[in-house]
């Protein structure tokens, strides 16, 4: 009898051990919450006192906030290309947004020809062989034609629209006919407009996806179109915003809806018992634009230019048991890093993937590697180019001499050091030029006037704006 009891105890311990190993061996779910055109400062966890974002603030307190997170571009489409491929999008010919009607007549590709080149893999292509179910929710903006559709780019499911911006309310028949890429689509070719405010509808679909795939490892790319124009908010959300007026109030109400949608998704994740086994990331596609009264404080610049306010974005990462709560990471990271980070978290080996420019962030943020993730980061649109190397940042323009800033000492980029450090300018200029020699020619370009206007905004947006 004693031997039997001993055997039972040993067997029980073995089963408990196996159970623990099974839990630890479970593949991590991955949720990427992506805002659109939000201001750097326009969240509570970023310091805003007028934009209530309780759910995202809570997420920030439960994870790590990154102080120097960068997109690969200062506009929507190219930024998304870099994010989803882990490669500088200029390597395969994407520098500009693909917006029908805005393109130069001399562009190589127009209309339905514009999209993420078919020979380039997405993160979903890498996660699918690892057993992951994947979905795009919301804005796609990487090609309107069927061949560029998310279901043809590695993703299993899609609920969203193919274009770059649309109303938050159901489209009229005329609007749908005028801009078919803005129609809400479920799967492939099943078009149906949402029955509620779009930000909330996207959250509901995300919850449905998690419910259906709670037994599978999954990747959700929740690509909200909030808070991109048009500025449209519900009366209920507007009523909750105090002390603001005009567009600033509308923007705050839209941000409140975005925060609520993120909260809906995170509450569902917890209710399903998946929170402890899920990597959650929140960020934004580029700096806040000048036309919607966003605040990129304390940064200069805005969407469409390469000052910090155009390319530095809010960023949160949470992974229970791996990433410490209420921590900050102060070295520069890039959206390029998402693909290798996600692949390795999923049990793959990103080092075997050819051509990636990003790195797996986990060794860096868990202090297994105390070096900076990147020696250099680059940006480019047409004749404008930027290289950041340590604290130094060089900006090259078509209409003026290059500028040089020490970002650690001059975050507003108002103290040009180019004349004091001409050797550094020459060195970094050459580094930028050598990087550009590796790139593909742009597949398409906007009309010239849009680039002229983007350069003008560099001068107009030099002074950071806290609030309005």
DSSP string, 210-270: HHHTTTS-EEEEEE--TTSSS----HHHHHT--S--HHHHHHHHHHHHHHHHHHHHHHHHH
Say if pTM beats, i.e. exceeds, 0.85: yes
Position 25 scores a pLDDT of 56
Position 219 scores a pLDDT of 99
Position 309 scores a pLDDT of 97
Structural domains for the chain: 28-374 (3.40.720.10), 383-441 (3.30.1120.10)
Q: Dig out the tokens for 47 from the structure.
A: 């310091």
Position 15 scores a pLDDT of 33
* Angstrom distance (rounded) from CA 462 to CA 419: 19
* Angstrom distance (rounded) from CA 294 to CA 287: 9
* Ordered per-residue pLDDT tens for the chain, 468 residues: 444 343 333 333 333 333 333 333 589 999 999 999 999 999 999 999 999 999 999 999 999 999 999 999 999 999 999 999 999 999 999 999 988 788 898 887 777 889 999 999 999 999 999 999 999 999 999 999 999 999 999 999 999 999 999 999 999 999 999 999 999 999 999 999 999 999 999 999 999 999 999 999 999 999 999 999 999 999 999 999 999 999 999 999 999 999 999 999 999 999 999 999 999 999 999 999 998 999 999 999 999 999 999 999 999 999 999 999 999 999 999 999 999 999 999 999 999 999 999 999 999 999 999 999 999 999 999 999 999 999 999 999 999 999 999 999 999 999 999 999 999 999 999 999 999 999 999 999 999 999 999 988 888 888 887 875
Q: Which residues contact 41 (CB under 8 A, 6 or more apart)?
A: 47, 48, 295, 296, 297, 298, 466
């Amino acid at each position: 009898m004693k031997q039997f009891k001993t055997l039972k105890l040993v067997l029980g311990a073995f089963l408990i051990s196996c159970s623990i190993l099974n839990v630890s061996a479970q593949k991590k779910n991955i949720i990427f919450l992506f805002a659109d055109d939000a201001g750097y400062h326009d969240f509570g966890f970023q310091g805003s006192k007028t934009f209530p974002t309780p759910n995202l603030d809570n997420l920030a307190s439960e994870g790590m906030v990154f102080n120097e997170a960068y997109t690969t571009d200062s506009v929507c489409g190219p930024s998304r290309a870099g994010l989803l491929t882990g490669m500088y999008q200029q390597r395969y010919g994407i520098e500009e947004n693909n917006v029908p009607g805005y393109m130069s007549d001399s562009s190589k590709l127009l209309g339905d020809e514009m999209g993420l080149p078919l020979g380039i893999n997405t993160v979903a292509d890498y996660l699918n062989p690892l057993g992951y179910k994947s979905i795009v929710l919301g804005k796609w903006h990487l090609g309107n034609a069927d061949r560029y559709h998310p279901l043809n780019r590695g993703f299993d499911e899609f609920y969203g629209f193919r274009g770059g911006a649309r109303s938050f309310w159901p489209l009229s028949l005329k609007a749908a006919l005028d801009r078919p890429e803005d129609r809400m689509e479920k799967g492939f070719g099943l078009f149906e407009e949402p029955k509620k405010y779009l930000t909330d509808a996207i959250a509901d679909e995300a919850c449905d996806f998690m419910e259906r795939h709670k037994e599978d490892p999954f990747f959700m790319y929740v690509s909200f179109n909030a808070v991109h124009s048009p500025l449209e908010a519900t009366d209920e959300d507007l009523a909750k915003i105090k002390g603001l007026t005009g567009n600033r109030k509308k923007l705050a109400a839209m941000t409140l809806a975005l925060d609520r949608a993120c909260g809906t998704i995170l509450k569902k994740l917890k209710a399903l018992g998946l929170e402890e086994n899920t990597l959650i990331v929140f960020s934004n596609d580029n700096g806040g634009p000048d036309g919607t009264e966003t605040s990129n404080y304390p940064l200069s610049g805005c969407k469409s230019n390469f000052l910090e306010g155009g390319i530095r974005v809010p960023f949160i990462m949470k992974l229970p048991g791996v990433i410490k709560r209420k921590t900050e990471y102060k070295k520069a990271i890039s959206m390029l890093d998402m693909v290798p980070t996600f692949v390795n978290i999923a049990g793959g080996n990103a080092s075997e993937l050819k051509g990636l420019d990003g790195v797996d962030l986990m060794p860096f943020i868990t202090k297994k590697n105390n070096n900076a993730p990147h020696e250099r980061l680059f940006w480019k649109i047409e004749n404008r180019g930027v290289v950041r190397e340590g604290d130094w940042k060089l900006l090259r323009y078509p209409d003026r001499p290059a500028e040089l800033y020490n970002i650690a000492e001059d975050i507003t980029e108002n103290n040009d050091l180019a004349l004091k450090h001409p050797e550094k300018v020459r060195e970094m200029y050459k580094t930028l030029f050598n990087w550009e020699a590796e790139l593909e020619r742009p597949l398409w370009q906007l009309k010239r006037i849009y680039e002229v206007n983007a350069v003008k905004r560099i001068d107009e947006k030099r002074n950071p704006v806290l609030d309005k």
